[in-house]
Structure 1
Amino acid sequence: MTSYAMRHAAFAVVGLGAMWVTSRIRVDRYRRFAWILYAATVLLLVAVPLVGVATKGAQRWLDFGVFTVQPSELAKLALIMVPAAILAAGYTLGRFAGVLLAASVPIGLVALQPDLSTAVVLVGIVMLMLILARVPLLPLAPLFALGVASIPLAVLFLRPYQLERIHVFLSDSADPQGSGWAAWQADIAIGSGGLWGMWRQPQYALRAEYLPESEHDLAFASLVYGWGLVAGLAVVIASSIIVWRATVAARTARTREAALVAAGIGGLFGMHAVVSIAQSLSLLPHTGMPIPLFSYGGTAAIIGFVEIGLVLAVRRDGVARPLWATAPRRRRLPRGVSVGAVAVTASLVAMTGVAWHLQTDRGAEFREASDGQLMRCIRLPAERGQILDRAGVPLAVNAPEYTVSVVARMFDDNNAEVRGRLAALLGITPDQLAETIRDGGTEVEAVLARVGPDRARAIVDAHVPWVLVYPTGRRQYPQAATLATVLGYVGVADTDDMQTWPQLALGARVGKAGLEKQYDALLRGIDGSQCVYVDPAGRPVATAVRVDPVRGHDLRLHLDSAMQQVATDALTDAVRTSGGDLGAAIVMDARTGAVLTMASVPSYDNNVYGPPVDAAALAAQTQAPGPGRMLNHVFQSAAPPGSTFKIVVASSNAQYGVVAPDQMLAGGASYTYGGHTFANWQPMGPNSLIGAIQWSDNVYFYQLGERLGPERMATTAAELGVGRPSGLDLPGEIAGFLGTPESVADIGGTWYPGSTLLMGIGQGTVTASPVQVARWTSGIASGATVTPQLAASYGPGEGWPIPTAAPHQLSFADKLGPVRAGMRASAAAGTAGQLASLPVPAAAKTGTAEDPSAPGKGLNAWFSAVLPFDAPEVVVTVLVRGGGFGSATAGPVVKRLLELYLAQTRGTAR
């Protein structure tokens, strides 16, 4: 930029000298000067195709060694002076034809270069001179008509880049990185330049490189970019002054020829200024029109000063000498000269307003674009927070592995010493390093290797320039399958993740399942970046700002990993020995909802998901036997709850008082209703509510369900959380189903009379997940339902607590005494009597539910218990699908977990 400025200053000095010389020419010698200039112009234009210099597919310059000349710039002045000389004596048809003939030679030669845009300008100059010379409109009309008619034909002669410029101007969808590059960069330059420009900013020289043809076609945009709108306004004022000085000179000229010369020069300056500034503002297609004197170009600058010198000569001649010309002044005054000057000035002022509007309305946008395009940033992934159990045992950690990468294009052949140092640190040869960098393609970053912590520290300590070291983000899960369905896994963000978190960077790692997904915003942290300045070709040239990543928060759970392991082992044995196909166990604080254990079998190994994914291990795992191994069956599987639902029905009776708790209802081996027989699991005598719960009497609950009706049972069940998600802090929880005549009809089913009886024993139109069974068990035992929650706190150390939802007090809590007594009786000497040996009294309900989807005999084993009975602290619920009788299969698992809980909290022996 400095070299251009110095050369242009040298041209200006030469031009000032030429201006002084031409300002001394007497106006009566203009005719001779015109024809000499014309002859020289034609000779030079003829020489251009023979010995001219070609640039961008066109020959426009003559190289004289020390300097170059663009003859088409001389042609502009020649086509002002020659028509002025011919038409000075007035209009005749012959003179009119002479002007056209003289003008056709340089115009044709310029068009053959080819330089169609300059040829169009020359045609415009000739038309301007004919109008100024007061040529009658009748002979001008065919010329105008010919010009309009030739516009479509001009497309045939336009070069591809010229057609592209027109397309960009006419289209609103031009690619800013492709065909719309120049227009977009001009908008950025003007919009972000502000009042005083960006020349003070350290990266201004780099910013200026993004503006194409900044010294020529887009000189106005370049000026505003560097020196602000004030500098642009100065150009507008200077151009207006030149136009008006030429106008005044034309009005006071002593001869008609001098007046035409001054008016033509003023029109030429005005035309150049308006078109050039308009193209910088994208108000016209980019035509390659420079601003006289301000755009870089030796020939144009010198000719511009010569033109000003001629105007000064006209002005000096008109002021210094009396106006004794014989022609009336009205006839000497060029046509429309004042109107044209006003129009040019108004246009320039209006365009200044457009530039101001661009800055005030979209300045921030363009400044951001200016900053953004000269930087490329390499993402520095944040280290993900760990997931810990209640004792601080790590459950999800980051692999001690680091990515080593480089800003690829800075490691060229001139950096052999640096590349050698880095290759030695990586334990490879310089040739291998060079090949790896080449394989990085055109990206700013080239990933070289994954290394362990020791090698990563050595590379960081070596301070090798342009080298980045950051964690790979691969996740490890020490408990693997034991906690996979709870913790989930991490993967590369996809389209759905991008919609959820719009600020995610491409390639970012996010939680895809389980707690990793639920608490991703806490665990993920905030990525950092290392930015580099790049030139318009995308080559890095310097380091820019670095933002260090912020590590994610650790997440501490209520979960007890030791208990989780015990639960998983016990559950696995229960499923295997019973012939079941899946199992689930949950241990939850009955007071707060804190989840201590959430075991699910079968499971999967979440370590295979990396990232990157271990494809072979994932394929093998996918083909392994076992249903729903990707699901946590505690909250993602629903099944008929069987007899565990009887305490819900009993609670409904407590709420509505249909049958007195001590009232005995008929027993037996079955119950007949509506012509159908409904079996008991074993023959029993008459029972009260407590005895019916203690021994899980189906016949009692057939009768109780019949008397309550489905709506009242459903109302109580809904308050206990049946048929809706529990609110557990894990994604993908299912709601189960709570059927009523209305809801069954809504899904196209039929509610039969026997459906009410089946509902009374937890069959038919009721399904629930183990976490829902645990909620109603603890809710009935304590009088309030809780919201299960795994997360306890986040942050360093003990961190900040994650509050749990307050317990929901049941509206019928004070009426549940008989139901609780039945649950206690079951645990003391009933179907759940195996819990009688516990050192603390428990309450429980067993269940053996018919399930067509279950393997074997199609019986699901349920067992749900709380302790202590009088002030419940913990609830344990177990399901083994296809496991048979709940007391036999699920009961031992529940007892084992309650024993472990008591050992941990009270120090009691197993």
Structure 2
Amino acid sequence: MALTYLTRSLRRRPVRPPESGIARRKSIWERAHLDPWLLLMLLILMVAGLGVLYSASGQNMDAVIAQGSRFLVAVVVMLVLAQMTPTTLLRWAPLVYGASLLMLVAVELVGDMGMGAQRWLTIPGVVRFQPSELMKLAMPLMVAAWLSRRELPPRWYDLLVCGVLIGVPVLLIARQPDLGTSLLVTSAAVFVVLLAGLSWRFIAFLLVLAASALPLLWMNLHNYQRQRVLTFLNPESDPLGSGWNIIQSTTAIGSGGVWGKGWLQGTQSQLEFLPERHTDFIVAVLGEEFGLVGMLVVLVLYLMIVTRGLWLAAGAHDTFGRLLAGSIILTFFIYVFVNVGMVSGILPVVGVPLPLVSYGGTSSVTLLAGFGILMSIHGHRRLLPR
């Protein structure tokens, strides 16, 4: 229902709030363009994530300190972006998209290899990062900027341009190869297009078109990606090989029961049966040590963040703000849904981290940067686009 309201709200014309005879004194949160409830929930999630990471990393304090440092950088980025007006974001959208696209090309030419993939750029002595993570923000930013200047719902020409804007970077990311990130970047852009007011008939046509392209997609998948899909359908077909990850993760979650085995007491994780336990499969550590109750608490926290984000997005006073904010929070939901789904065995493993809980630097910065943009759109909602 929230998504339907957000889509319909795009057709409202922006209206300036009535002037009041008595000027209301702004709170510190309004002056800082921050939403205190959303900020509080994000901080709680990050603190909880550090606790789970301490256990998942084998009580490695260095990993926790490194992640905490990245969180601090990410929070600073979020606070800075919250001060930028939507008008500034709209003006910078082509520059951010172009720079991200050039970095993806640089990855293709001179990127660093790691675990069989070429995904990273290194600035010697400064930082090593994944440009594909930046595209998760640059993509919806650019598509929202394009559609906000067009008549809605979008026409065929507008959708064709969106297809080009989406297709080029997604193909570059898929070549790295990084199927999980390419799907997230695509979903971020698709949410913008859907929120622009596409008819259900056109959406049905796109779904049929996507389904008809599945055989072509299958033929172009790498061997290990095909194996992931086959393993998802039948993990027991290769229990000591490709099925090991999903079998161990579901075993860990199931062994936790209702209340869990206790913090630092998980056998699957502490005895290193569970692979990638501090990154993609960290939710299995959560389920084993804190049980069904602990998982539900974290999932409810995620749901509260998504609900608050949709409420903030629906309150934006211009088309660009609603499109961009709606895409950011819905993509965050996809992050959570895909990670929990793949670890629990209801989705294929595609390498998507659990937001603000899994170990990772660029991902954390990108996620909190998105929330900074969301708070900017809400905090500057009385400023109409020039």
Which of the five TM-score ranges fits, normalised by the shorter chain?
0.7 to 0.9
- Residue 297 of structure 2 is aligned with which of 231, 234, 237? 234
- Measured after TM superposition, the shift of residue 44 of structure 1 is 0.9
User: For the structure 1 residues 205 and 113, does the alpha-carbon distance in structure 2 shift closer, same or farther, using more than 3 Å as the test?
Assistant: closer
More off after superposition, 44-53 vs 97-106: 97-106
After the TM superposition, which residues 463-612 of structure 1 pair with which residues of structure 2 at under 5 Å, given as runs? Answer: none
- Measured after TM superposition, the shift of residue 254 of structure 1 is 1.2
Q: Residue 92 in 1 paired to residue 152 in 2?
A: no
Note if contact 1:218-1:280 (Cα within 8 Å) is conserved in structure 2.
yes
Note if contact 2:86-2:385 (Cα within 8 Å) is conserved in structure 1.
no
- Measured after TM superposition, the shift of residue 145 of structure 1 is 3.0
User: For the structure 1 residues 33 and 236, does the alpha-carbon distance in structure 2 shift closer, same or farther, using more than 3 Å as the test?
Assistant: farther
1:24 is matched with which residue? 83
- Residue 199 of structure 1 is aligned with which of 250, 258, 263? 263
Q: Which amino acid aligns with 1:122?
A: V
Q: Deviations over 1:382-402 (max 9, x none)?
A: xxxxxxxxxxxxxxxxxxxxx
Q: Which amino acid aligns with 1:95?
A: D
After the TM superposition, which residues 38-117 of structure 1 pair with which residues of structure 2 at under 5 Å, given as runs? Answer: 38-64=97-123, 65-89=125-149, 90=152, 91-117=154-180
Q: Which amino acid aligns with 2:66?
A: R
Structure 2 gap segments, 5+ residues each:
1-56
- Residue 33 of structure 1 is aligned with which of 86, 92, 106? 92
1:15 is matched with which residue? 74
User: For the structure 1 residues 53 and 235, does the alpha-carbon distance in structure 2 shift closer, same or farther, using more than 3 Å as the test?
Assistant: farther
Length-normalised TM-score, structure 2: 0.77
Q: Deviations over 1:481-505 (max 9, x none)?
A: xxxxxxxxxxxxxxxxxxxxxxxxx
2:326 is matched with which residue? 263
After the TM superposition, which residues 643-658 of structure 1 pair with which residues of structure 2 at under 5 Å, given as runs? Answer: none
Q: Residue 252 in 1 paired to residue 315 in 2?
A: yes
CA distance in 1, matches of 2:179, 2:113: 15
Note if contact 1:197-1:224 (Cα within 8 Å) is conserved in structure 2.
no
Q: Percent identity?
A: 33
Q: Which amino acid aligns with 2:135?
A: A
- Measured after TM superposition, the shift of residue 172 of structure 1 is 6.0
- Residue 193 of structure 2 is aligned with which of 127, 130, 140? 130
- Measured after TM superposition, the shift of residue 161 of structure 1 is 2.2
User: For the structure 1 residues 283 and 115, does the alpha-carbon distance in structure 2 shift closer, same or farther, using more than 3 Å as the test?
Assistant: same
Q: Deviations over 1:132-173 (max 9, x none)?
A: 111345555554333111112222222222222211221263
CA distance in 2, matches of 1:6, 1:282: 31
Larger Rg: 1
Note if contact 2:252-2:268 (Cα within 8 Å) is conserved in structure 1.
no
Q: Comparing both structures, which one devotes a greater share of its residues to strand?
A: 1
Structure 1 gap segments, 5+ residues each:
327-910
- Measured after TM superposition, the shift of residue 62 of structure 1 is 1.1
CA distance in 2, matches of 1:192, 1:298: 30
Equivalent position SS for 1:60: strand
1:225 is matched with which residue? 288
Runs of 4+ in structure 1 deviating by more than 4 angstroms, as ranges, are 137-142, 202-205
1:838 is matched with which residue? none
Note if contact 1:60-1:70 (Cα within 8 Å) is conserved in structure 2.
yes
Note if contact 1:175-1:181 (Cα within 8 Å) is conserved in structure 2.
yes
1:706 is matched with which residue? none
Q: Deviations over 1:444-473 (max 9, x none)?
A: xxxxxxxxxxxxxxxxxxxxxxxxxxxxxx
- Residue 152 of structure 1 is aligned with which of 215, 220, 233? 215
1:6 is matched with which residue? 65
RMSD of the TM alignment (CA)? Answer: 2.3
Select the structure with the greater relative contact order (CA < 8 A; seq sep ≥ 6). Answer: 2
CA distance in 1, matches of 2:201, 2:235: 40
Equivalent position SS for 2:278: coil
2:10 is matched with which residue? none
User: For the structure 1 residues 21 and 165, does the alpha-carbon distance in structure 2 shift closer, same or farther, using more than 3 Å as the test?
Assistant: same
Equivalent position SS for 1:173: helix
User: For the structure 1 residues 161 and 204, does the alpha-carbon distance in structure 2 shift closer, same or farther, using more than 3 Å as the test?
Assistant: closer
Q: Deviations over 1:511-532 (max 9, x none)?
A: xxxxxxxxxxxxxxxxxxxxxx
Q: Deviations over 1:625-669 (max 9, x none)?
A: xxxxxxxxxxxxxxxxxxxxxxxxxxxxxxxxxxxxxxxxxxxxx
CA distance in 1, matches of 2:274, 2:264: 17
Note if contact 1:73-1:300 (Cα within 8 Å) is conserved in structure 2.
yes
Q: Deviations over 1:837-876 (max 9, x none)?
A: xxxxxxxxxxxxxxxxxxxxxxxxxxxxxxxxxxxxxxxx
CA distance in 1, matches of 2:140, 2:385: 22
User: For the structure 1 residues 182 and 248, does the alpha-carbon distance in structure 2 shift closer, same or farther, using more than 3 Å as the test?
Assistant: same
Note if contact 1:273-1:292 (Cα within 8 Å) is conserved in structure 2.
yes
- Measured after TM superposition, the shift of residue 53 of structure 1 is 1.4
After the TM superposition, which residues 612-651 of structure 1 pair with which residues of structure 2 at under 5 Å, given as runs? Answer: none
User: For the structure 1 residues 204 and 97, does the alpha-carbon distance in structure 2 shift closer, same or farther, using more than 3 Å as the test?
Assistant: closer
- Measured after TM superposition, the shift of residue 273 of structure 1 is 0.4
Length-normalised TM-score, structure 1: 0.34
CA distance in 2, matches of 1:128, 1:219: 27
The aligned length equals 322
Q: Comparing both structures, which one devotes a greater share of its residues to helix?
A: 2
Equivalent position SS for 1:254: coil
Q: Deviations over 1:540-599 (max 9, x none)?
A: xxxxxxxxxxxxxxxxxxxxxxxxxxxxxxxxxxxxxxxxxxxxxxxxxxxxxxxxxxxx
1:118 is matched with which residue? 181
Equivalent position SS for 1:311: helix
CA distance in 2, matches of 1:211, 1:277: 15
1:243 is matched with which residue? 306
Q: Residue 312 in 1 paired to residue 371 in 2?
A: no
